[in-house]
Structure 1
Amino acid sequence: MSLLLTPTVAFGAALVLFVWIALGAWVNFDARARGSRHPAIWGVFAPLSGIVLFYYLFWWRRGRPRERPPGRVERATAVVVVAGLGGLIVGSLVSPPDPTSQLTVWPIAFACCLPLAYWLVRARLGTKGSESAVQ
């Protein structure tokens, strides 16, 4: 079955690209806040390679405390990434295994996951003046 490029599917594909870029931006912001000498390299290669992303999240990031609390843009990118991954999981569970159907359902699942993602990121990263912001 070929992928039919309807406006809904095109919007889903654009949203996938947007979440992918947001993942790179979040990794860049986080690596910079943790004192990396080359945060842009982390930001580029983490979304491109799942191995680099898992290494960053589960090994490199854990050994370095934040030097400054997350800013507003970093929290916003984290919300987009969490909602994107949550929407991907929910969308793959409720839609048929057809790429066109998944790209059609995923934006709706993404939008439904946004409030939960906002709540999770706010609870985890805190607000600018809170003590939980610096980990």
Structure 2
Amino acid sequence: MPLQLTPLVAVGVLCFLLVWIAIGAWVKFDAHARGSDHPGFWGVLAPVSGIVLAYYLLWWRRGRSRRYPPSRWERATAIAVVAGLGGLVVGSLVSAPDPASQLTVWPVAFVGCLPVAYWVVRRRFGASGSEYAGR
């Protein structure tokens, strides 16, 4: 059965694209803050390849401290990423197992996860300042 493009499914696809772009933007901002010579490389390849994203998060990023605190844009992209991934998990748990149902539930779950994502990002990028090499 082919996927029917209803307005709700189109909103789900746009939400998916937003989160996908936000992952690349957040990785680029973070790589730049950690002194990467090629943050655009990380920003383009991380959302395309889960292996590159896992390598960045688990290996490359771990060994380098930030040179400056996160900007407003970096926090906003991190909130979108956390809410998007949380919404994906919640949407897959409460919807039917077909793609159309998941794409219609995911935007609602994304919006529902935004306050939690804001809280998580706020706690993670807190004002302690102890992890920045420039201070």
TM-score (norm 1): 0.95
Q: 2:57 maps to which residue? A: 57
Higher helix share: 1
Unpaired stretches in structure 2, ≥5 consecutive residues: none
State how far apart, in whole Å, the 1-side matches of 2:91 and 2:104 are.
Answer: 9
State how far apart, in whole Å, the 2-side matches of 1:133 and 1:6 are.
Answer: 49
Q: Report the 3-state secondary structure (helix = DSSP H, G, I; strand = E; otherwise coil) of the residue aligned with 1:56.
A: helix
For residue 128 of structure 2, what is the amino acid of its counterpart? E
State how far apart, in whole Å, the 2-side matches of 1:131 and 1:109 are.
Answer: 31
State how far apart, in whole Å, the 2-side matches of 1:71 and 1:124 are.
Answer: 13
State how far apart, in whole Å, the 2-side matches of 1:133 and 1:120 are.
Answer: 18
User: Structure 1, residues 50-71: CA drift from partner, whole Å, max 9, x if none?
Assistant: 0000000000000000010000
Q: 2:128 maps to which residue? A: 131
Q: 1:109 maps to which residue? A: 109
TM-score (norm 2): 0.95
Q: Report the 3-state secondary structure (helix = DSSP H, G, I; strand = E; otherwise coil) of the residue aligned with 1:63.
A: coil
**Pairwise CA distance, 1:134:** 3.6
User: Structure 1, residues 23-68: CA drift from partner, whole Å, max 9, x if none?
Assistant: 0000000000000000000000000000000000000000000010
Tell me how many residue pairs correspond in the alignment. 132
Q: 1:81 maps to which residue? A: 81
